[in-house]
A = this chain, B = another copy of it.
């Protein structure tokens, strides 16, 4: 796997050569030992017209696995090229949740064709799942799970698993339902295997279990799977009937997507669900420009503050040179605090009720940070700017203005940085938006106001 990244160019050349020399059997033998995800990533680098050829060489089951891993553009191209029989074959091999993922990305006419060639039961399930809102547990669940009855013996259960198992997404956890499909318990394949053949399911199943609702947020569901170290979570409808399961592999994908979204929001980008190199210039532009415009407009207020203190700056021009340093340090302090708190919120480590503990902690951190930075600054101003560069304008009062501003700016920045995400969360906004760029804009204005206040006080201008 890790070797693959390096061997890939070589592999691609070999494939290209084998295709040109029409050595298809050899090509097939070369692909077979690879993992589906790796074959898909190789397919992505092939010429478009090669893809159907390579795809058709693969055995049915592997072909379906590869198909799932392809990008939606490539999937669409393949589907458009498929004969009806081929389409049906691939669809029959797919797990239901993967089919739903594919259907969600396809244009309407392709969806129609997919639904037409799915068997009626699958079609019904697909339509069911499509009804759930994006980002809900229902939208990522699969309906292919093993269901057992309380009255079965272990032997019955194992027989049932042997019979229906091949079509199930997982057999590692089995779900026990009653006549009205209410979920009443679950048990792992391990419990089943370690039990005696004539044990009764109702006696050995786990009756204390955690289930999620179809409309629960997919991120919360994924976090629960990770928190409790489960391999799957049952999904029930409002009447507590079992309708599907969410498996750990899907949960990992959700967590990964949500993290990317959070990171994008923290960097003032509207989240997108495509990989960077697959987005067009226009899409990237659209994701970035709204926040840039908004933040640019807010930053003009900072400019207004400078303008309104033009006289003070004219009286002590040396002050201008330290504006960037004060603004940048304030911004950095603020984003340290906000990013820490945002991550804490998304990991459920910090709740709104912790706000006073958070603020008290940030005050203490800000005081020591501010003092250290101010002290370092004072030494630098005196030794470098005054003694080394003989800057006569750098007097002790000027240095005092800069250092006092530093302490106050750090304090303000940390307070704004730690409290805004929590407040955003409280009023139902996304805390991730309250990250560096947003905080920086606020802190810039604050640091200038503090700076000019100290200048007026200490320099009498």
List A residues at the B interface (Cβ < 8 Å).
1-2, 5, 32-37, 158, 161-162, 165-166, 171-172, 189-190, 193-194, 208, 210, 212, 216, 220, 224-229, 231, 248-249, 251-253, 255-256, 259-260, 262-264, 266-269, 275-277, 281-282, 284-285, 288-289, 291-293, 295-297, 299-300, 302-304, 306-307, 310, 313-314, 317-318, 320-325, 327-329, 331-333, 335-336, 338-341, 343-344, 347, 349-351, 354, 357-358, 361, 364-365, 368-369, 372-373, 376-377, 380, 436-437, 440-441, 444, 448
Quote the shortest CB–CB distance from A240 to chain B (angstroms).
14
Quote the shortest CB–CB distance from A144 to chain B (angstroms).
13
So how many copies of this chain end up in the complex?
2
Residue contact A380 to B297, C-beta cutoff 8 Å = yes
List of B residues within 8 angstroms of A166 by Cβ = 194
Q: Given contacts A231-B231, A340-B269, A376-B293, are A193 and B208 in contact (CB under 8 A)?
A: no
Q: Given contacts A255-B256, A277-B344, A365-B281, are A335 and B194 in contact (CB under 8 A)?
A: no
Residue contact B323 to A306, C-beta cutoff 8 Å = yes
Checking B158, B291, B328 against A444 with a beta-carbon cut-off of 8 angstroms, the contacting residue is B328
- Whole-angstrom distance between the alpha carbons of A321 and B323 in the complex? 11
Residue contact A347 to B256, C-beta cutoff 8 Å = yes
> What residue in chain B is nearest A222 (Cβ atoms)?
B252
Quote the shortest CB–CB distance from A449 to chain B (angstroms).
12
Residue contact B324 to A288, C-beta cutoff 8 Å = no
Residue contact B34 to A343, C-beta cutoff 8 Å = no
List of B residues within 8 angstroms of A377 by Cβ = 296
List of B residues within 8 angstroms of A322 by Cβ = 300, 303
The 5 closest A-B pairs by CB, nearest first: A267-B339, A229-B249, A302-B324, A303-B321, A33-B208
